Structure formats: structure tokens, C-alpha cells
Amino acid sequence: MRPIPTAVGLLFLALATALPAIAQPYPSRPVHLIVPYPPGGGVDKAGRIFGDLLGAKLGQPIVIENKPGASSAMGIEYAVKAPPDGYTILLTNSDGLTMLPNLKKSVPYAVPKDFTFIARILLVPLAVSISTKMPFNDMNELIAYAKANPDKLRYGSNGVGSGLHLATLLIEKAADIKMTHVPYKGSAASMNDLMGGHIEVSVNAVQAVAPLTSSGKIKLLAQTGPKRDPMTPDLPTLAELGMPSATVAIFYGIVGPANMPPAVVAKLRQDILQVLGTPEARQKFADAGFSLDPLGGDGFEKFVMDEYRQMKNLAETEKITVEE
């Protein structure tokens, strides 16, 4: 005859049965970071630096998964359809969250409904660059020339509807000028033509153009961010020059699928902001040409939605769309 379980034995049996159902502390396994761009680019570079730093803080590896395609929409769709448990998060930027949804007829996600906004990592301000064959020494001289010579100045971008194209349109609207757009397949090609004097103006990432000034072939006139970037502390912002409506910077941020557990979001956000506040993080990102500008919580979502509305208004007024 089997012995009848004692009350203590029954208690241990109940606890043993319940243990698998008790949630383990987050994170208890590797976290996957989706990067919706190919390896080797700027977003991927930032993601790998970020992943190493956050993984050390969380005590679990951050597994980078590159899922490029459809101008980042494929990777974003993959991330927002993942289980909202904190084990799949996404590194995305302005292109995917504020530009594509306003330029394409449809994207496979909705902003902000399909997202949990965790933290902004950095801002990439842009710089107004000109060929040194042009006689301008500041933005006022460029604007005066453009007003007197509509469409004569040619500016390059990395394609219709790209962040660089939209940023230049904001400058045109703020300054009440009109230039001729010359789209390229990449920003490097436009910079080569700028240095060669084949176009006169380019708006490009500060970290991409600042080192080129030493060649003597380009000159920087202003930057577009909300504040001066540490890489170009002597370069005025457009807001300082009386054009606050042209303020724009490409953001990189961490988001997840909608409906993530609040405790997981709080843990991620706290650890991200803590690790990005360290001298080690600042140095690693600076070595890669990035300036950290972390922002968490409701402030990050508000920042994204303010830019979303800015881009929506620009796309509608300028009637800009991109092909599917």
C-alpha cells in the first residue's frame, strides 16, 4: 500500500507543480535585436555597439538579426509581429517610423499603435554642405543667391523621399527658396559629385561630412539638429539662424511590439538609459562617429509622433510618394 501523503508532502507537491508556471526574472535567455538593414551600414554599426553594451548590463547576450528589405519595412514588420515578451526588440530610425508610413501608400504596420516605445539612443544631425567652388560663406549668402536664382542651385540626396531629401525640402520651405533636386542611389555618390563640383549643395549626416572638410572640397554652413553636435560645435543650427521649422535629425531608437509587459519595458528602459549614460558608451559611440542623445518613456514617443506629423504635413503639401 502506498503511503498517504502528509500535509507537508502535499504542500511540496503543489509547489513543485506550480514552479514551471512562475515567470522567471527578465531576461532569462538571449534577447534578439532586429536591425532592419544589411550588415555594415550605420544602423547596423550602432546596433552592434549597443548590443554589446546592453548585453553586459542585462547579463544575457543580445543577438543581432539583420532583416533588410522594403526600405526597412520587412524587418519592422517581423519585429512588431513577434511575441511582446521583451525577447524580440527592434532598432529602428526615422526612415521606418516617421517617413515610410507617410510616403508609401501602405506599410505593414501602424504608428504608434503597433509599437511599444522604449528609448531613443541617438540623434544624427545633418549638415548643409556646399562645394567650395561656390562663393558662399554662410547660410544667408546661400539663401540670398537661391532667391535671386530659383532652381539654379542643385542639391543631391540618396533618393526621392529619403531623409536627406525631406530635410532639404524643410530648409527650402523655411527659407522660401527653390533648388533643383538631383537624386542618387546613395549618399556617397552625391557627396562625390559635391566634391567634384557637379552639384552645389548637399544635406548629409554630420559624421559623414565633417571629416571631408579637411579635403578643402566642401564647406559646412549649418546643421539641422535641435542643438549643436559635439563633432561640429562651431557650426550654427538652422534654428539659431531663424529657421526653427527646418529642425530635423535622424533618430535611432529601441522599440518593441505593442502590449509588452510594463515591468519588462521598465527594466529595459532603465538599463538602456543607465548604460548609455556611461563614459564607456559615449566613447564607443563617439569612436564610431555617433553622438548619444538618449530619451526614454513618454518623451521618446512624443518625439517620434512630433516628427511623424512634421513628415506627414511635408509629404502632403509637397505631394511626395515613393514607389511600392
The pLDDT, as a whole number, for residue 158 is 84
> Which of these three, 246, 275, 296, is where a domain ends?
246
Same domain, 173 and 225: yes
Whole-model pTM over 0.75: yes
Percent of the chain with pLDDT over 90: 73
Which position has the higher pLDDT, 13 or 64? 64
Cell of 295: 530619451
C-beta of residue 273 within 8 angstroms of C-beta of residue 294: yes
Average pLDDT score, the chain: 90
C-alpha 270/C-alpha 296 separation (Å) is 8
* 19 has pLDDT over 50: no
Task: Please check whether residue 23 lies inside any domain of the structure.
Answer: no
> Which of these three, 183, 214, 246, is where a domain ends?
246
* 152 has pLDDT over 70: yes
Same domain, 136 and 113: no
| 232-289 per-position pLDDT tens digit | 999 999 999 999 999 999 999 999 999 999 999 999 999 999 999 999 999 999 988 8
Cα atoms found within 13 Å of the Cα of residue 45, Cβ hemisphere only:
11
| 41-89 per-position pLDDT tens digit | 889 999 999 999 999 999 999 999 999 998 899 999 999 999 999 999 9
Same domain, 135 and 112: no
Which position has the higher pLDDT, 218 or 18? 218
Cα atoms found within 13 Å of the Cα of residue 171, Cβ hemisphere only:
34
Mean pLDDT, range 299-312, rounded to an integer: 95
C-alpha 10/C-alpha 4 separation (Å) is 10
Same domain, 141 and 237: yes
Task: Please check whether residue 87 lies inside any domain of the structure.
Answer: yes
Q: State the pLDDT confidence band at 16, using cuts at 50, 70 and 90.
A: very low
The pLDDT, as a whole number, for residue 6 is 58
Task: Please check whether residue 3 lies inside any domain of the structure.
Answer: no
Count of domains for the chain: 2
CATH code, 215: 3.40.190.10
> Which of these three, 186, 217, 246, is where a domain ends?
246
Same domain, 173 and 262: no
Task: Please check whether residue 10 lies inside any domain of the structure.
Answer: no
The pLDDT, as a whole number, for residue 24 is 81
Domain encompassing residue 215 = 125-246
C-alpha 25/C-alpha 190 separation (Å) is 49
Mean pLDDT, range 294-301, rounded to an integer: 92
Task: Please check whether residue 8 lies inside any domain of the structure.
Answer: no
CATH code, 59: 3.40.190.150
Q: State the pLDDT confidence band at 23, using cuts at 50, 70 and 90.
A: low
Q: Look at residue 68 and give its three-state secondary structure.
A: coil
Task: Please check whether residue 16 lies inside any domain of the structure.
Answer: no
Same domain, 259 and 227: no
The pLDDT, as a whole number, for residue 21 is 43
Same domain, 118 and 260: yes
Task: Please check whether residue 25 lies inside any domain of the structure.
Answer: no
Q: Which of 11-15, 113-117, 203-207, 214-218 has the largest mean confidence?
A: 113-117
Pairing of strands 249-257, 201-205: unpaired
* 11 has pLDDT over 60: no
Cell of 137: 560663406
Percent of the chain with pLDDT over 70: 92
Same domain, 239 and 255: no
- Amino acid at the residue 262: P
C-beta of residue 307 within 8 angstroms of C-beta of residue 101: no
The pLDDT, as a whole number, for residue 109 is 97
Beta-carbon contacts of residue 45 (< 8 Å; ≥ 6 apart): 288
Task: Please check whether residue 11 lies inside any domain of the structure.
Answer: no
C-beta of residue 202 within 8 angstroms of C-beta of residue 223: no
Same domain, 118 and 255: yes
Same domain, 240 and 310: no
Same domain, 133 and 112: no
Same domain, 215 and 156: yes
